[in-house]
């Protein structure tokens, strides 16, 4: 939109220059400079020829004839209005006007012609087919050397599309909301305050975008005056914005804010009506760039000799490289560290000396440098001349069509970091093992005690049911515990589907009040933008809805506990184009849905911030949490192709943001859960059971026989295929474990489908990396541990289908 308007302004400027040129030609044609005498025929011919040369629509009228008729219209004007020259010549311009033409515009034009002066007026004219167009009309009188008015010269510019788009821009506040929220640059709208002399003395923040705080380092500024937010702000900021508000002239500048200790690249322009005195400000923090530029300028100006000495003596790799990827200059350290002579490097591409596995990261870094960004601490492996590799940490600054880079050898540091990671892994495994053992011993204690009590003679029926219920409840808790562990390990078998995050959050938000209690205020903000019809845009993701709900509930519960039962909890859904850098990962650009849970609680201490996603790590008291809630959020985010980011300030609160890739297409309507039809009392449904674990296999066959099924149990996939080959008609459904020696359950299912496509297959598993990575391949899946009722239901469902 702004580009189109800029193009219009450039065309207007070109038009003004063209008018000046043509007027000069016209003046010289009407009065011949060679003879010094007026010309009666040559003048008009030169005038018409000059007007015909230009591609801009031009007309010439003769005020010395009655009603000031058109005496010439060039081809461009004929194309613009749709009339031929014969239809135009002899008529006054008013016949191009119509019902939509503003009489005030006509009056301005008429007054200027009567006064014989230049005028620029924007007016509605009509094409020959009756359709209107908005026309910016430039009218200028042409005099001869004696000062007599000879002609009126008119030049026209069709601005219909540009004025329409300007109108849309003013009326589409909701439509740019997505861009407003997503851009990385800071953006705000301010309202200026002036004193009696017209000097700007303050301004109030009307609106700020989410990136404002990150770029300016200021939070919670909406509705507040800058004198309150930044006491002692430099007067030049007020003067500059005040001038924009009064004059309407946009400005682009770079300036430092001493009170903030930052430099900014700022673009400011007036918006709205002039009386509103409002200014829109788009800005980026360029402190790092300015500091780097200052260092480079100082080095170039004052330390040229010293720089050359550093270039030769530095043990770090120094290089000047073009944005085409070609090395232009290297220092001697390349030869000393990696064994490459300068002649082998200069003129070669940079990626020829990068480890193949790191070339993608290096190319991405090159793209960032091309965009003007400064590169900080990029660790990649450089290849040495002898075929070995060294870890180099690169810093680079763009300059013109090239960049300067310095690389430090961090191979030893990397080795130490790897040793530290291995040590931390062992510590985490120990903590994980201890946590699992602790929680499972608690669960097993309940089960063991209940089974011992069930063996007591003459046990009343009421107590027997109580002990059986205790065992069942404990098994459910154990299954939940293993599910959280698998989610953290990204080994949970997910059932992804495309669904609208906003609706998912809304449904969970209905139960949040029950989780948080009456003293916590819960606010839900859906900021996904609106379509042309004004309806909220869908934010679709392709993930497991139940795992998403669990992750959201875990973040809410964590926020509730941090507020000690009282405060404000905000759940926010928005579009995002960047995942910020986190846990040593660079920031990632893309199309994401961001779900944030913010609290006003106690915050998280910096020294434990990096550990909060570890399983069984908790800062709560004994018995107040398992330490697995946030680890489930972490595992779900990673397994769904996203990320989870946490920001926290002690005493001020914490914000967890779950980033998930946005999905294309439409949300899939959830299928209603239906109960399969019951089987007859003596139905005798024949089941082929495939289970390599003796205890589980014995239990499954016994349970199925109790339910009226006829079972045949085999312990591996090959035995199952052999049994089907002997008598495939003897089985109505196959019930198979996934993890087995040799062929697994999924491969068995595919083999059965190829030979016996109508035979139903039900898979069961407590954990399988195949399921976690690839899903169930369309087979019915029963997760372990399962109840007898669940087993019967899924078999009945498979048979009924």
- Helix, strand or coil, per DSSP, at residue 3: helix
The answer to whether residues 762 and 734 touch, using CB atoms and an 8 Å cutoff, is yes
The answer to whether residues 710 and 682 touch, using CB atoms and an 8 Å cutoff, is no
435 pLDDT higher than 60: no
Q: Which residue has the higher pLDDT, 547 or 479?
A: 547
The answer to whether residues 544 and 498 touch, using CB atoms and an 8 Å cutoff, is no
Report the candidate in 493, 592, 499, 594 with the shortest Cα–Cα distance to residue 542: 499
Question: Which H or E element spans position 770?
Answer: helix 769-774
Report the candidate in 699, 696, 702, 595 with the shortest Cα–Cα distance to residue 642: 595
| pLDDT value, residue 33 | 33
Question: Per the structure block, which two tokens stand in for 254?
Answer: 């770079």
Using a 10 angstrom Cβ sphere, with 0-12 exposed, 13-18 middle and 19 or more buried, the burial of residue 588 is middle
| pLDDT value, residue 551 | 82
- Cα gap 180→206, rounded to integer Å: 14
| pLDDT value, residue 667 | 59
| pLDDT value, residue 709 | 87
81-87 contact pairs (CB < 8 A, 24+) = 81/57, 81/125, 81/126, 81/127, 81/128, 82/127, 82/128, 82/129, 83/128, 87/128
Position of tokens 């660079």?
586
CA angle 202/183/603 to nearest 5° reads: 80
Q: How confident is the model over 601-652, as pLDDT tens digits?
A: 888 888 777 777 776 566 654 444 555 677 778 878 887 888 888 998 888 8
Alpha helices by DSSP H, 116-247: 160-171, 177-182, 211-216, 226-229, 235-247
Which architecture, in CATH terms, is 497-661?
A: 2-Layer Sandwich (3.30)
- Cα gap 23→505, rounded to integer Å: 67
| pLDDT value, residue 306 | 58
* Contacts of residue 567, Cβ cutoff 8 Å, sequence gap at least 6: 519, 520, 521, 599, 600, 601, 653
The answer to whether residues 81 and 96 touch, using CB atoms and an 8 Å cutoff, is yes
Question: Per the structure block, which two tokens stand in for 204?
Answer: 């109030």
Largest Cα–Cα separation, the chain:
138
User: Half-sphere exposure of residue 375, counting CA atoms within 13 Å on the CB side?
Assistant: 26
337-342 contact pairs (CB < 8 A, 24+) = 337/384, 337/390, 337/409, 338/382, 338/383, 338/384, 338/385, 338/390, 339/384, 339/385, 339/386, 340/384, 340/385
Report the candidate in 61, 33, 36 with the shortest Cα–Cα distance to residue 47: 61
Strands of 400-447, DSSP E: 402-409
Return the minimum-mean-pLDDT range out of 56-70, 167-181, 553-567, 777-791: 167-181
CATH of the domain spanning 172-285, picked from 3.40.50.12280, 2.60.120.260, 3.30.420.130, 3.30.450.20: 3.30.450.20
Residue 225 — very low, low, confident or very high, per pLDDT cuts 50/70/90?
very high
Beta bridge partners, 362, equal: none
Q: How confident is the model over 120-143, as pLDDT tens digits?
A: 888 888 989 888 888 788 888 888
CATH of the domain spanning 686-800, picked from 3.10.310.10, 3.30.360.10, 3.40.50.2300, 3.30.413.10: 3.40.50.2300
Q: Using alpha carbons, list the distances in angstroms from residue 508 to 187, 502, 553, 571, 598.
A: 32, 10, 8, 10, 16
Strands of 384-452, DSSP E: 389-399, 402-409
| pLDDT value, residue 31 | 37
- Cα gap 748→691, rounded to integer Å: 12
- Cα gap 758→732, rounded to integer Å: 9
For the beta sheet containing 262-271, the strands, ordered from the edge strand earlier in sequence to the opposite edge, are: 200-208, 186-194, 278-285, 262-271, 251-257
Domain 2-166 has CATH 3.30.450.20: yes
The answer to whether residues 737 and 688 touch, using CB atoms and an 8 Å cutoff, is no
Beta bridge partners, 521, equal: 568
| pLDDT value, residue 391 | 92
Q: Which residue has the higher pLDDT, 739 or 653?
A: 653
Rounded (10°) angle between helices 629-639 and 461-488:
50
Q: How confident is the model over 76-119, as pLDDT tens digits?
A: 888 888 899 888 899 888 888 888 888 888 888 888 888 888 88
Quick one: DSSP state of residue 185? S
| pLDDT value, residue 503 | 80
| pLDDT value, residue 202 | 94
Q: Class for domain 415-488, per CATH?
A: mainly alpha
The answer to whether residues 740 and 696 touch, using CB atoms and an 8 Å cutoff, is no
Report the candidate in 329, 298, 326, 289 with the shortest Cα–Cα distance to residue 311: 329
| pLDDT value, residue 655 | 92
User: Half-sphere exposure of residue 786, counting CA atoms within 13 Å on the CB side?
Assistant: 23
* Contacts of residue 404, Cβ cutoff 8 Å, sequence gap at least 6: 296, 318, 319, 320, 396, 397
357 pLDDT higher than 50: yes
Alpha helices by DSSP H, 231-381: 235-247, 287-302, 304-313, 333-338, 342-345, 359-370
The reply to whether 415-488 and 686-800 are identical in fold is: no
Beta bridge partners, 378, equal: 394
Q: Which residue has the higher pLDDT, 739 or 166?
A: 739
Question: Per the structure block, which two tokens stand in for 490?
Answer: 């990204």
- Helix, strand or coil, per DSSP, at residue 199: coil
| pLDDT value, residue 238 | 94
Q: How confident is the model over 492-530, as pLDDT tens digits?
A: 555 677 888 888 787 776 666 666 777 788 888 888 777
| pLDDT value, residue 3 | 55
The answer to whether residues 780 and 797 touch, using CB atoms and an 8 Å cutoff, is yes
Q: Using alpha carbons, list the distances in angstroms from residue 751 to 561, 602, 783.
A: 51, 57, 22
| pLDDT value, residue 420 | 58
Position of tokens 């880079």?
405
Question: Per the structure block, which two tokens stand in for 182?
Answer: 């997503």
| pLDDT value, residue 9 | 58
| pLDDT value, residue 773 | 47
Bridging pattern class, strands 375-383 and 389-399: antiparallel
HEC assignment per residue over 670-739 = CCCCCCCCCCCCCCCCEEEEECCCHHHHHHHHHHHHHCCCEEEEECCHHHHHHHHHHHHHHCCEEEEECC
Average pLDDT over residues 298-322: 73
Residue 43 — very low, low, confident or very high, per pLDDT cuts 50/70/90?
very low
Report the candidate in 404, 354, 417, 401 with the shortest Cα–Cα distance to residue 382: 354
| pLDDT value, residue 280 | 92
Strands of 502-638, DSSP E: 520-527, 540-543, 567-579, 588-599
Report the candidate in 503, 506, 527 with the shortest Cα–Cα distance to residue 174: 527
For the beta sheet containing 643-649, the strands, ordered from the edge strand earlier in sequence to the opposite edge, are: 520-527, 567-579, 588-599, 653-661, 643-649
Report the candidate in 495, 801, 764, 761 with the shortest Cα–Cα distance to residue 676: 801
Residue 657 — very low, low, confident or very high, per pLDDT cuts 50/70/90?
very high
Residue 772 — very low, low, confident or very high, per pLDDT cuts 50/70/90?
very low
Q: How confident is the model over 557-614, as pLDDT tens digits?
A: 888 888 877 888 898 998 888 888 876 667 788 888 999 999 988 888 887 777 777 7
Position of tokens 């009064």?
246
The answer to whether residues 502 and 536 touch, using CB atoms and an 8 Å cutoff, is yes
Domain 290-409 has CATH 1.10.3210.10: no
Position of tokens 């014995």?
698
- Cα gap 732→245, rounded to integer Å: 80
Q: Which residue has the higher pLDDT, 6 or 771?
A: 6
The answer to whether residues 397 and 374 touch, using CB atoms and an 8 Å cutoff, is yes
Alpha helices by DSSP H, 489-619: 501-516, 545-562
Domain ranges for the chain: 2-166, 172-285, 290-409, 415-488, 497-661, 686-800
| pLDDT value, residue 16 | 58
């Amino acid at each position: 939109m702004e580009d189109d308007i800029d193009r219009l302004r450039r065309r207007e400027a070109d038009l003004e220059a063209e008018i000046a040129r043509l007027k000069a030609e016209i003046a010289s044609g009407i009065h011949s400079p060679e003879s010094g005498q007026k010309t009666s025929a040559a003048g008009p011919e030169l005038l018409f020829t000059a007007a015909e040369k230009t591609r801009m629509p031009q007309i010439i009228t003769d005020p010395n004839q009655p009603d000031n008729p058109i005496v010439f219209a060039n081809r461009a004007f004929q194309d613009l209005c749709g009339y031929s020259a014969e239809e135009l010549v002899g008529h006054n311009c008013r016949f191009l006007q119509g019902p939509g033409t503003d009489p005030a515009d006509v009056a301005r034009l008429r007054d200027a012609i009567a006064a014989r002066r230049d005028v620029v007026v924007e007016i509605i004219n009509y094409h020959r087919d009756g359709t209107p167009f908005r026309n910016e009309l430039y009218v200028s009188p042409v005099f001869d050397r004696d000062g007599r008015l000879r002609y009126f010269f008119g030049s026209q510019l069709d601005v219909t599309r540009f004025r329409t788009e300007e109108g849309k821009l003013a009326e589409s506040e909701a439509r740019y909301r997505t861009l407003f929220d997503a851009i990385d640059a800071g953006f705000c709208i301010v309202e200026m305050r002036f004193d009696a002399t017209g000097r700007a003395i303050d301004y109030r923040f009307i609106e700020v975008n989410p990136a404002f705080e990150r770029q300016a380092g200021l939070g919670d500024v909406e509705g507040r005056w800058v004198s309150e937010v930044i006491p002692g702000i430099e007067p030049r900021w007020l003067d500059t914005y005040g001038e924009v508000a009064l004059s309407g002239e946009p400005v682009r500048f770079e300036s430092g804010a001493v009170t903030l200790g930052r430099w900014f690249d700022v673009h400011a322009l007036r918006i709205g009506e002039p009386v509103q005195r409002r200014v829109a400000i788009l800005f980026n923090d360029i402190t790092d760039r300015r500091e780097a530029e200052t260092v480079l300028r100082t080095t170039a100006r004052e330390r040229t000799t010293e720089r050359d000495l550093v270039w030769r003596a530095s043990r770090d790799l120094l290089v000047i490289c073009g944005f085409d990827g070609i090395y232009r200059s290297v220092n001697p350290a390349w030869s000393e560290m990696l064994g490459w002579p300068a002649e082998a490097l200069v003129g070669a591409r940079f990626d020829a000396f990068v480890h193949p596995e790191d070339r993608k990261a290096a190319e991405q870094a090159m793209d960032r440098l091309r965009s003007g960004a400064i590169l900080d601490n990029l660790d990649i492996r450089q290849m040495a001349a002898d075929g070995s590799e060294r870890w180099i940490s690169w810093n680079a600054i763009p300059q013109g069509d090239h960049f300067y880079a310095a690389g430090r050898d961090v191979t030893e540091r990397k080795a130490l970091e790897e040793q530290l990671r291995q040590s931390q892994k062992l510590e985490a495994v120990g903590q994980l093992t201890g946590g699992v053992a602790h929680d499972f011993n608690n669960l097993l204690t309940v089960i063991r005690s209940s089974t011992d009590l069930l063996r007591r003679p003459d046990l009343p029926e009421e107590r027997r049911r109580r002990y059986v219920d205790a065992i069942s409840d404990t098994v459910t808790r154990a299954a939940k515990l293993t599910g959280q562990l698998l989610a953290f390990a990204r080994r949970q078998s997910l059932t992804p589907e495309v669904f609208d995050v906003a609706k998912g959050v809304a449904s969970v938000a209905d139960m949040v009040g029950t989780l948080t209690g009456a003293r916590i205020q819960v606010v839900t903000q859906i900021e996904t933008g609106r379509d042309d019809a004004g309806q909220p845009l869908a934010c679709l993701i392709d993930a497991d809805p139940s795992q998403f709900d669990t992750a959201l509930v875990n973040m809410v519960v964590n926020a509730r506990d941090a507020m000690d039962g009282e405060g404000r909890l905000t759940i926010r859904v928005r579009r995002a184009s960047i995942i910020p850098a986190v846990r040593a990962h660079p920031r990632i650009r893309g199309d994401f849905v961001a779900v944030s849970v913010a609290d006003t609680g106690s915050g998280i201490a910096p020294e434990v911030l990096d550990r909060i996603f570890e399983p069984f790590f908790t800062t709560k008291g004994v018995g107040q949490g398992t330490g697995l809630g946030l680890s489930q959020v972490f595992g779900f985010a990673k397994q769904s192709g996203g990320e989870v980011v946490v920001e926290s300030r002690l005493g001020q609160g914490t914000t967890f943001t779950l980033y998930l890739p946005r999905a294309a297409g439409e949300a899939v309507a959830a299928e209603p859960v239906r109960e399969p039809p019951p089987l007859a009392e003596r139905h005798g449904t024949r089941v082929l059971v495939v289970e390599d674990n003796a205890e589980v296999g014995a239990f499954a066959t016994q349970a199925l026989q109790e339910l009226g099924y006829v079972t045949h149990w085999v312990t591996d996939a090959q035995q199952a295929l052999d049994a089907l080959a002997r008598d495939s008609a003897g089985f109505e459904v196959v019930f198979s474990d996934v993890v087995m020696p040799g062929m697994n359950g999924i491969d068995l299912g595919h083999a059965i489908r190829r030979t016996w496509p109508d035979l139903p297959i039900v898979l069961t598993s407590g954990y399988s990396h195949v399921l976690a990575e690839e899903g169930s391949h369309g087979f019915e899946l029963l997760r372990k541990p399962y109840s007898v009722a669940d087993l019967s239901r899924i078999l009945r469902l498979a048979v009924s289908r």
